[in-house]
Amino acid sequence: MLMQKPNPLHAFLPATGEAAELVAGFNWAATSIGSVGTWPEVLRATVALILQSPVPIVTLWGEDGIMIYNDAYSIFAGGRHPQLFGSKVREGWAEIADFNDNVMRVGLSGRTLAYRDQELTLTRRGIPEPVWMNLDYSPVVNERGLPIGVMAIVVETTEKVRAERALAQLNATLESRVEERTRERDRMWRLSTDVMVVADFSGRIVAVNPAWTSQLGWAERELIGADLVSFVHPDDMDGTRAEVQSLSRGVTTLKFENRYRHKDGSWRWLSWSAVPDENFIHAAGRDIQAEKEAAGALKSAEDALRQSQKMEAVGQLTGGIAHDFNNLLTGIGGNLELLQQRIAQGRLQGIERYIEGAQTATRRAASLTHRLLAFSRRQTLDPKPTDANRLIGDLEELIRRTVGPQIEVEVAGAAGLWTTRTDRNQLDNAILNLCINARDAMPHGGRLTIETANRWMDHMSAGDRDLKPGQYISICVSDTGTGMTPEVMNRAFDPFFTTKPMGQGTGLGLSMIYGFARQSGGQVRIYSEEGQGSMVCIYLPRHFGEDAVQDETETSHDLPRSDDGETVLVVDDEPGVRLLVTEVLRDLGYRAIEAADGPAGLRILQSDARVDLLITDVGLPGGMNGRQVADAARQYRASLKVLFITGYAENAVIGNGHLDPGMEVLTKPFTVEGLANRIRTMIES
């Protein structure tokens, strides 16, 4: 929501948010901290900080602990909001007054407190209920270093704690079952129900116990003198013979499994323990047929649980997406509404900020959708010849600001680095993500290195990386941080897998990087040792062809015009997009022809109308997608230039980034400047 009647005293507040409005409208003079005009700068800065945080934070100011909190905390407060706002913490949360007495006492003495999964009983919905929280309390100090307030970060962990206790759903019961089964096995062993055999070192059976008859149906006379391996399943024979040979060479004990033939022709899984003495092999085989079947069922249950967890993560992800998009749409809609009002009132001075605000929100929305599509490996790539050294150079300052002064950043770009053909925006995101991961692995500082190299992959090295032999470039980001265990490395690219604390990582970053690299014909590999740091390398194919070009965003704001009556056919079923493109074309002097679906566009292309460029959406109604329209049109116009515009997952339709000459792709949403430059470049090429 938008703040009304701006007040200079409230300049430190964010422009939006319920909590910001509450701060602006609250009668602070009635509290011990006084009116906003008397607030010290540290209080203003603290309030501005917490109001912009997505994490639930509350500031407890002064001896009374006056509560000022953000929108995220208001959700945590439940039905106690907004009454808590501006109240004394001991009175606002009366049921835990003793707990907060200690918090204020410790915080105002300059010390910190931290609780993990702290249980408290709160009344947030009319009735007392137990809740669990991660609580971090830090003193807020004035310019003289004296504590004058306490900042509390509150993350509710109730659902996690309940789930863990329930799982502990399950472990206690499982342990008791295992213990019971173990006792049963001990009784079975004492009663000699396991099959036992004595054989010489050639595998010839010397003696068997009665369990062979009760368990496998074979009589003693049918077994004595027979080859032990002759009763084994054909698929297990080689492995069993190898185990017998190992025992004959002096291996002291062996455990292995195989399938044995029952006299009725069926097969039974046995788990063997075998030891040799001077003359014979002594082995006991336990029937594990039921356990094998149970293991299969358990795996199915684990798969179902894992799927359930992934679906829960998807639910959290979509909730976050909805939140982000609602914020972005609020920014776009609000700025456009203000722009409309100002134009209607004839007040044109300063309207550029509303335009810029809407454009900024649009760019952020576009970035969000691209990240999501990268995670699902369905984003439409816009590959172009790219100089990775120059791209990293453009990113270097942003990387240094992101990782902070505790971390030394070193960039080592290979001289004569080959050009690669890739989506530069996605490569930007991938490198930045790897640098953020490296920063998080070095909480106490360290060294981050970004290096590039030319790589010639022969059959062996390419096979190790699941790549085709050939020439590649590598971009490696290494750190001197905590490193990874083999188990973590094996799961690092799994969606939703993260080793970061709850709320600090989605587990999507490396998955998105892997999806982007594979779509680009490359690969990602992790090299790490626990406690010794990590290195993540992106391998991308070398590009043979034109040199790397500048981004369209670096071009002039003077849009290139048509001065020769060039004609562009626009095929798109979305009227708003069609209107935008045709308006841009006409403003720049082009003649624009419109078609709402593939068949209509193809009829125009089959006529003798002049068409210098076809701009078509990929997903079209009418039975023909954009690629089909372009391919059909080239039967009549072999040199027709085609610009595909797409906003979703039609990457496979248009060639997975490998387009025919004269075809290019532009990803929605696009800027007018980017569209105009691409049209001019393609027509003149």
Question: How many whole angstroms separate alpha carbon 441 and alpha carbon 452?
Answer: 21
pLDDT number for residue 311 = 63
Angle at 104 between CA 102 and CA 108, to 5 degrees: 125
Whether 2 maps to a domain, the answer reads no
Judge whether residue 34 has pLDDT over 50.
Answer: yes
CATH of the domain at 49: 3.30.450.20
Same structural domain, 239 and 350: no
Whether 277 maps to a domain, the answer reads yes
Which range of 187-196, 382-391, 435-444, 535-544 scores highest in mean pLDDT? It is 535-544
Same structural domain, 416 and 536: yes
Are 228 and 205 in contact by the 8 Å Cβ rule? The answer is: yes
Q: Which of 432-436, 490-494, 624-628, 681-685 has the lowest mean pLDDT?
A: 490-494
pLDDT number for residue 380 = 59
Which position has the higher pLDDT, 15 or 473? 473
Judge whether residue 545 has pLDDT over 80.
Answer: no
Judge whether residue 49 has pLDDT over 50.
Answer: yes
Pick the last residue of a domain from 130, 164, 198: 164
Are 593 and 600 in contact by the 8 Å Cβ rule? The answer is: no
Same structural domain, 388 and 482: yes
Look up residue 501 and give its DSSP letter.
Answer: P
Q: What is the three-class DSSP state of 665?
A: strand
The bridge status of strand 534-541 relative to strand 523-528 is: antiparallel
Which position has the higher pLDDT, 425 or 596? 596
What residue type is 56 in one-letter code?
P
> Which residues does 669 contact at the CB level (< 8 Å), separation at least 6?
362, 365, 366, 647
Same structural domain, 46 and 85: yes
Same structural domain, 444 and 524: yes
Which position has the higher pLDDT, 541 or 460? 541
Quick one: pLDDT band at residue 293, thresholds 50, 70, 90? confident
Whether 71 maps to a domain, the answer reads yes
Q: How far is CA 94 from CA 87, 98, 101, 124, 524, in A?
A: 11, 9, 11, 12, 54
Chain segment 476-532, per-residue pLDDT in tens? 999 999 888 888 877 777 665 566 655 445 555 677 788 888 888 899 998 888 888
Whether 550 maps to a domain, the answer reads no
Average pLDDT over residues 619-629: 86
Q: How far is CA 355 from CA 337, 352, 482, in A?
A: 11, 5, 45
Same structural domain, 157 and 27: yes
Which position has the higher pLDDT, 141 or 383? 141
CATH of the domain at 646: 3.40.50.2300
Whether 394 maps to a domain, the answer reads yes
Chain segment 650-659, per-residue pLDDT in tens? 554 555 556 7
Whether 546 maps to a domain, the answer reads no
> Which residues does 548 contact at the CB level (< 8 Å), separation at least 6?
384, 385, 386, 387, 390, 419
Chain segment 103-127, per-residue pLDDT in tens? 999 999 999 999 999 999 999 988 9
pLDDT number for residue 465 = 85
Q: What percent of the chain has pLDDT over 90?
A: 38
pLDDT number for residue 129 = 93
Question: How many whole angstroms separate alpha carbon 69 and alpha carbon 66?
Answer: 10
pLDDT number for residue 403 = 86
Question: How many whole angstroms separate alpha carbon 74 and alpha carbon 85?
Answer: 9
Same structural domain, 640 and 664: yes
Average pLDDT over residues 290-319: 68
For the beta carbon of residue 41, count every other beta carbon within 10 angstroms.
10
Same structural domain, 397 and 370: no
Q: Which of 132-136, 295-299, 524-528, 652-656 has the lowest mean pLDDT?
A: 652-656
Look up residue 194 and give its DSSP letter.
Answer: S
pLDDT number for residue 684 = 87
Question: How many whole angstroms separate alpha carbon 242 and alpha carbon 231?
Answer: 15
pLDDT number for residue 652 = 47
CATH of the domain at 391: 3.30.565.10
Q: Which of 187-191, 277-281, 414-418, 607-611 has the lowest mean pLDDT?
A: 187-191
Are 130 and 121 in contact by the 8 Å Cβ rule? The answer is: yes
Q: What is the three-class DSSP state of 617?
A: strand
Range of the domain at 196: 174-287
Looking at the 3D structure of the chain, how many domains does it have? Answer: 5
Same structural domain, 534 and 672: no
Counting beta carbons within 10 angstroms of the beta carbon of residue 564, is it exposed (0 to 12), middle (13 to 18) or buried (19 or more)? exposed
Which position has the higher pLDDT, 67 or 372? 67
Judge whether residue 366 has pLDDT over 50.
Answer: yes
Whether 1 maps to a domain, the answer reads no
Nearest Cα neighbor of 391 from 526, 552, 545, 548 is: 548
Chain segment 548-589, per-residue pLDDT in tens? 655 544 444 567 888 777 999 999 888 878 888 888 888 889
Judge whether residue 36 has pLDDT over 80.
Answer: yes
Which range of 307-316, 451-460, 509-518, 671-680 scores highest in mean pLDDT? It is 451-460
pLDDT number for residue 116 = 94
Same structural domain, 361 and 247: no
Average pLDDT over residues 169-192: 72
What's the chain's average pLDDT? 84
Are 17 and 71 in contact by the 8 Å Cβ rule? The answer is: yes
Pick the last residue of a domain from 326, 348, 375: 375
Same structural domain, 149 and 211: no
Judge whether residue 640 has pLDDT over 50.
Answer: yes
Quick one: pLDDT band at residue 1, thresholds 50, 70, 90? very low
Judge whether residue 316 has pLDDT over 70.
Answer: no
The bridge status of strand 642-646 relative to strand 613-617 is: parallel
Average pLDDT over residues 302-307: 69
Helix or strand holding residue 528 (H, E):
strand 523-528
Same structural domain, 507 and 574: no
Pick the last residue of a domain from 332, 357, 375: 375
Chain segment 220-270, per-residue pLDDT in tens? 899 999 998 999 999 999 988 888 888 888 787 778 889 999 999 899 999
Whether 444 maps to a domain, the answer reads yes
